[in-house]
Amino acid sequence: MTRSLHLAVSAYGVGGPGQHGLWKDPRVPKNASIDIQHYIRQAQIAEQALFDAFFIVDSQFITPDYPSHYLNRLEPLTLLSAVATHTSRIGLVATASSTYNSPFNLARRFASLDLISQGRAAWNVVTSFDTGTSRNYGLDEHLDYATRYGRALEAVQVVRGLWDSYEDDAFADPERFLDATKLHTLNHHGEHFDVAGPLNISRSPQGQPVIFQAGVSEEGRNLAAQVAEGIYAPGGSLTEAQAYFQDIKRRAAALGRDPEHVLIFTGASPVVASTDEAAHRRSREIYDEDNDFDRKLGFLGRSFGAYDFSQHDLDAPFPDVAHLSEKGGRTSGAAIVERAASEGLTLRQVVDTLTSYQPSPFTGDPSTVADAIEHWFTAEAADGLNLRFRALEDLERFAADVVPLLQQRGLFRKEYEHETLRGHLGLPIPENRYAL
């Protein structure tokens, strides 16, 4: 088999989207989202299981109705810098907005994490979903889709240029501290940024941090095809995941990129138990634990600029709010509006329909879960999975019971063969543009 399965773990502390009751779980400390030891332990368990990466999501706007983890959490790069000193192999993926950061700061912070971790850093490029973020940065309005994605593409190009400021042997001469001929200014002048450079930090053992991206809109898919080396895909059904997989690979190939260097990680929340019956029973219990209608109603507003749906009659037709998604969650908002209109749904029915019980396809005893992972991988629905677990013991169970089965089937590594995240993912080290 030429392809190898990749595994990442996404840490959500006291509960991310759809996990509205997780903070009540006695296995989860109520301060988990701000407890660095909780994150370190998760990363260490995942590293012991030979996972590729440890992923931290982020956003910079909240309302009280947002998921518990969103309300009180650590900044990703600060968090992962601490995790880096307690791990040695697992990749460290931090989310940072290209809309609300300057390329120079992004380049410097990620290059620092890359050196601290000795070549294990990655940037998950986002354009910021929440329209309210603008008001936290002195702007009256959130930028529109075209501007945000144009800015994101240019930001990645600038950041990559800054990461090449020093050639790899710029400090190698024993007779002088720096060979100044191997330090390069960028002098970028673009539509969104003017950045002189150079960056005051050298490259790491993996050359440059890996670029991750997540998005399902047309603009998001185009950005992924142009710059992403890893993609966090939304999941859905097997057929939907296969369609997304093929679409992204096709777009990348059309741009002259090697599709094998664009790795798709599908989101998944496994439920593993001693038997299939016990796993499905536990899956239903999890749904019931999280089935808080008021919080689900509140979170529905996120796709519409944090709109407050509680002001509407729950049993009246779904309100006309399509325009509110134009600068925020346009793809998800449009899908919600279209479904409500085509099926004649009330507001209550929209909430119930969107959050109805849907067991994870990765639910069952260890063998059943391994079967499902193998099927999704071999059916080219994913290059890997971005896994979300409710508690540390759920991650531990997956690592102890499912990972060995994947190894026995030749799908997953039995030891780390590389020191860097690029090595784990089978990605080439980018050559310094000035050394060509």
Binding residues: 58, 95, 149, 217
Question: How many CB atoms sit inside 10 A of residue 78's CB?
Answer: 12
Task: Answer yes or no: are the C-beta atoms of 109 and 199 closer than 8 Å.
Answer: no
Task: Answer yes or no: are the C-beta atoms of 406 and 210 closer than 8 Å.
Answer: no
Binding region for FMN:
58, 95, 149, 217
Cβ-defined contacts of 177-183 (< 8 Å, 24+)? 182/434, 182/435
3-state secondary structure of 252: helix
Cα separation, 44 vs 419, whole angstroms: 15
277-305 per-residue burial string, b: 16 or more CB within 10 A, e: under 16: eebbebbeebbebbbeeebbbbbbbbbbb
Cα separation, 12 vs 32, whole angstroms: 9
3-state secondary structure of 108: helix
Q: What does the angle CA 29 – CA 35 – CA 38 come to, to the nearest 5 degrees?
A: 70
Q: Of 21, 193, 207, which Cα lies nearest the Cα of 114?
A: 207
